[in-house]
Structures are given as structure tokens and as C-alpha cells.
């Protein structure tokens, strides 16, 4: 926070579960230090209501009142500073705490701290309160900043459309670090999930590790994990609408973990999504590889995936890599029937690719038009039961794979497939498409190909 406060137009967001001491450090300890160390600095702290704002102000003021504070910074509260919500220091610095909907007209600030902008579930689920909070942020709070002033938001995520949700990119999936947001600013985001589900955790945790185990036992977290909505929002900082995401990653795991590649299977196949317009290289080309077992072992296993940006005219030149990978995986997984080739969406550049494959004798065929003519939501809903009942598993390789794509190094399959939401347009969904198509092909009509 000190770095953000010294950065012109600095912006930061902190997302952590309840009880993580985020308010203590960000809303109490930091402002007391900032006001003491810097002369003539002004801070506005805003929260969902005056009571919480007053509590934060009282705690900040109690630090400043200590003799040790004066010994360190050489300043103290002015004689007239008796109110918890508004006080000043002898070095010219000032502090104001207010409810976010209460207004702060007439006061200017070097920095604004917004801590818990909504009170709870009822407010978070109210479109009226969310709109009022958003308007207060834009019209009342930000307008109080002096030129170059900084903003920090500290909250537990309650709703996908909360204050932070309206600022973050639509495809944000829990990443930390500098994030270019929809308001045009780069926000430094620190997202600490109760149970780590991202590859680049700020604390260096591995996927599946819980937060602050010295304080929070796994039994503590277990009491909240059964409520899917509460766990996703308050504890994982990834709130979902009530209609939610289609798929849950735990349904593809065995005892909470991905599985090794099979030593034996019936056949291996790939599904490729290359629906680009001629000359286009902005959309992704995704491919996902599957192993099918009809009778023994897991019915369908996601073995590997890949995604790249490539001009549509060059897709046919890239396709032999896909064929080679299918053959390689068939050998590695002991495929009794070998490779079943690749399935390609018969749209855009996929048409050209299929024509080239037919001329060259490549093992590629079009995905059934009954599937491609359906909407993305309908296709996903149609295969969701296969995932929910545990017929589809994901391999260790596919689960742990990290690829840089569009400037982000992460597991794009997990992000796209398990992050896909019904009714939301323009999502990153190349690998969602290949995953859904593959499940439909492997487990759909006649329970197989």
C-alpha cells in the first residue's frame, strides 16, 4: 500500500476471506502510518455504513494517540481532534471516515480507502444497492481525489457485479498482479483464496493448499465449503451468478486430485476449434486431447490441451502437429485401437482445414452439425450430466499445464472450461468449446463415436 500511495493514480484491490486481518492492516495500520510519516496528507476511508467507518476511525485514532507514535513520527492529534470519524494531526494531515452512501462533499483527499463497500448478502444481491454504491464511488468518492490521488479497495467478494466486479476485466479468474481493468487503470490486485485454485498465488501456495494454516484449520474451512455460493464468493473471491457455472473441477478429480495418464485405453482423439475468419489471428485456436475407455477404467480422460494465436491461413500448416500429438498420446496411453484422429468444427477456417485434410488423407472429420448448430449454453448443458456424475476425468498433465496466451501464463483450459457462465456473451471459450465437443463425441450418441 505504501508503494501504491506513492504512485501517481495508484490503484489496488485486496480480496481475502473473512477474518484474514485485511482491514487491520489496510484500513487501520497503514493510514495511521501514512498520516504520520507524510505532512499535509488527507485520507478518506469509506465503508458500507457510518458505524463500521467510525469503528475503523476509532482504531486508527487509538494508534495515533500512543506516545510511541509521537516518538516515531514527531506529531500527534490536534487538541480539537476528539471525534472518531474526523481528526487531524499537528503535521497538517487529516482523516475522515464515512459511510460510502453518506457523501463526502467539500473534502479533498490524497487517497481513498474503501473497506467493505456492501454490508452483506442482502445488500450484495440488491441491484439498487449495487447501483447506488457504484454511483457513490464514481460521483462522490473519486471526485474528492486531488490530481494523481490513489484508491485502495479492500473487500470480501459477495457478488460478481459488486464494486470490484464492475472494475475488473470480465474474464478475470482470480489472478493477482497488475491487471488492466475496465476503467482504463492498471490495478494491483492481491487475491488470496481460502483454498488456492490459481497457479500464481501471491503467497506461493500450491493448488489445494489452504490460507494461513497456523490460524485456520481445514476443519474451519470445511464448515463453509458445503455452501457452494458462499464458498465461491466470500472464500474463493470468485462469485458466480445463481445460475452459476456449468462445471465444477472437483467432479473431474479423484480424491481431490487429477489422475495419471492411463496405461491402457480404447482410443485417443483430438477436438480442434479453429473457427476464424480468413486472415484473422485475434481469436484463439484451441485443441483438446481425449482418451476413451468403454468398459474398464474412467470412461473419458482429458489428456492434454493447447491454445495459440495463429493466422487462419496457417492453420493447415499447424495441423500436422496436432496429428503427431494424437499419435504420440495413443502410444503413451496404450490405445488398443490407436488414434481416432481429430474432429474439427465445420466453420470459418475449419472448412478450409477439412478440405485440405480430405485432399491430403489426414485423419480429420467434421463435428456433427447437430452439435455445431446448438448454442454454446445448450451444448454445455447437454453434456453437464456426464461431468457431474464423474464420467469425465482430467489428467495430471492437463491439470498442471501452464501456457502463455494473450499475455497471461496460466492453465487456460481450467480457466475457460470451469469458468464458463451461462448467458454471458463474448467469453474466452475456445477450450470450453473443445472440451464440450469432446465430451459429446466421446460419451454422447450411442455412448461413443
**Rounded mean pLDDT of 284-288?**
89
At residue 20, the 3 state secondary structure works out as coil
Give, in words, the CATH class of 249-447.
alpha beta
- pLDDT tens-digit series, residues 363-410: 889 998 888 888 888 888 888 889 988 999 999 999 999 998 877 778
| Architecture of the structural domain at 2-235 | 3-Layer(aba) Sandwich (3.40)
What is the Cα–Cα distance from 285 to 317, expressed in whole angstroms?
A: 13
- pLDDT tens-digit series, residues 90-139: 999 999 999 998 877 778 999 999 999 999 888 888 888 999 999 999 99
Listed by start position, the domains of the chain span 2-235, 249-447
Burial tier of 355 (Cβ tally within 10 Å: 0-12, 13-18, 19+) = exposed
Q: Can you spell out the DSSP letters for 171-239? A: T--S--EEEE-TTS-EEEEEE--SB--SSS-TT-PPTTPBS-TTTS-HHHHHHHHTSHHHIIIIITS--
Mean pLDDT (the chain, rounded): 89
Q: Based on C-alpha coordinates, what's the Rg of the chain?
A: 26
What is the Cα–Cα distance from 431 to 418, expressed in whole angstroms?
A: 10
* pTM, full prediction: 0.58
Amino acid at each position: 500500500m505504501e508503494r501504491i500511495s506513492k504512485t501517481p493514480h495508484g490503484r489496488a484491490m485486496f480480496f481475502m476471506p473473512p477474518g484474514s486481518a485485511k482491514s487491520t492492516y489496510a484500513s487501520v495500520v497503514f493510514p495511521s502510518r501514512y498520516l504520520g510519516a507524510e505532512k499535509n496528507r488527507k485520507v478518506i476511508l469509506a465503508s458500507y455504513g457510518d458505524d463500521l467507518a467510525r469503528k475503523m476511525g476509532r482504531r486508527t485514532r487509538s494508534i495515533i494517540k500512543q506516545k510511541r507514535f509521537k516518538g516515531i513520527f514527531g506529531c500527534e492529534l490536534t487538541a480539537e481532534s476528539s471525534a472518531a470519524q474526523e481528526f487531524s494531526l499537528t503535521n497538517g494531515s487529516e482523516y475522515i471516515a464515512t459511510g460510502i452512501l453518506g457523501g463526502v462533499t467539500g473534502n479533498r483527499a490524497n487517497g481513498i480507502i474503501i473497506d467493505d463497500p456492501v454490508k452483506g448478502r442482502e445488500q450484495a444481491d440488491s441491484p439498487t444497492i449495487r447501483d447506488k454504491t457504484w454511483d457513490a464511488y464514481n460521483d462522490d468518492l473519486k471526485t474528492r481525489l486531488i490530481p494523481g490521488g490513489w484508491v485502495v479497495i479492500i473487500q470480501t467478494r459477495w457478488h460478481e457485479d459488486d464494486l470490484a466486479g464492475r472494475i475488473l476485466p470480465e474474464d478475470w479468474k482470480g489472478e493477482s498482479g497488475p491487471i488492466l481493468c475496465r476503467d482504463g487503470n492498471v490495478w494491483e490486485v492481491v487475491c488470496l483464496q481460502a483454498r488456492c485454485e490459481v497457479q500464481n498465488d501471491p503467497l506461493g501456495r500450491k493448488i489445494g493448499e489452504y490460507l494461513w494454516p497456523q490460524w485456520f484449520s481445514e476443519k474451519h474451512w470445511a464448515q463453509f465449503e458445503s455452501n457452494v455460493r458462499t464458498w465461491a464468493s466470500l472464500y474463493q473471491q470468485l462469485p458466480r451468478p445463481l445460475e452459476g457455472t456449468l462445471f465444477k473441477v472437483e467432479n473431474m478429480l479423484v480424491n481431490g486430485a487429477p489422475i495419471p495418464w492411463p496405461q491402457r485405453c480404447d482410443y485417443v482423439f483430438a477436438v480442434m476449434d479453429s473457427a476464424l475468419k480468413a486472415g484473422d489471428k485475434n481469436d484463439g485456436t484451441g485443441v483438446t486431447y481425449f482418451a476413451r475407455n468403454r468398459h474398464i477404467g474412467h470412461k473419458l480422460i482429458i489428456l492434454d490441451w493447447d491454445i495459440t494465436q495463429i493466422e487462419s491461413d496457417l492453420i493447415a500448416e499447424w495441423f500436422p502437429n496436432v496429428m503427431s500429438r494424437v499419435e504420440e498420446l495413443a502410444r503413451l496411453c496404450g490405445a488398443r485401437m490407436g488414434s481416432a484422429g481429430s474432429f474439427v468444427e465445420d466453420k470459418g477456417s475449419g472448412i478450409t482445414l477439412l478440405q485440405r485434410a480430405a485432399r491430403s488423407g489426414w485423419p480429420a472429420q467434421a463435428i456433427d452439425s447437430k452439435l455445431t448448430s446448438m448454442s454454446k449454453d445448450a451444448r454445455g448443458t447437454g453434456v453437464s450430466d456426464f461431468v457431474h456424475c464423474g464420467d469425465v476425468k482430467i489428467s495430471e498433465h492437463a491439470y498442471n499445464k501452464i501456457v502463455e496466451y494473450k499475455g497471461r501464463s496460466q492453465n487456460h483450459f481450467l480457466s475457460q472450461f470451469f469458468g464458463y457462465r451461462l448467458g454471458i456473451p463474448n467469453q474466452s471459450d475456445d477450450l470450453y468449446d473443445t472440451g464440450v465437443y469432446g465430451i459429446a463425441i466421446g460419451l454422447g450418441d450411442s455412448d461413443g463415436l
